[in-house]
Amino acid sequence: MTHSIQITFEDRREDRFLVLDAAGYENPDDVQEDWSHIEEFPGDTVFFADRLNDNAALVEERKISAAQVEALTGRPLFVVINDARRIADEYERAEAACAH
């Protein structure tokens, strides 16, 4: 079983939540170590860090800044968001095609 941290984005334009990035951990101590370095953002934001347990259930959520998203993903914010939207759109098209 894998514990994980995922970075999510509330895409208000498309009225959906998107996963921007994720990391899996076999050892719960490792996820806790990385989680301890993610700072809660005090302001209004559409970005979140989610700590999930080995059943993919939400354990804790923190608001994070756009700058922290870039630092955690190592990529420019517009690239991360555009990639996540593209992947979500492709998934929705594939799901719709399978429904027919």
Residues 69 and 45: beta-carbon distance below 8 Å? no
Q: From CA 82, how far away is CA 99, in angstroms rounded?
A: 26
Which of 8-12, 49-53, 96-100 is predicted least confidently?
A: 96-100
3 state SS of 8? strand
Q: How does residue 67 score in pLDDT terms, banded at 50, 70 and 90?
A: very high
Q: pTM to 2 decimals?
A: 0.88
pLDDT surpassing 90 at residue 28 = no
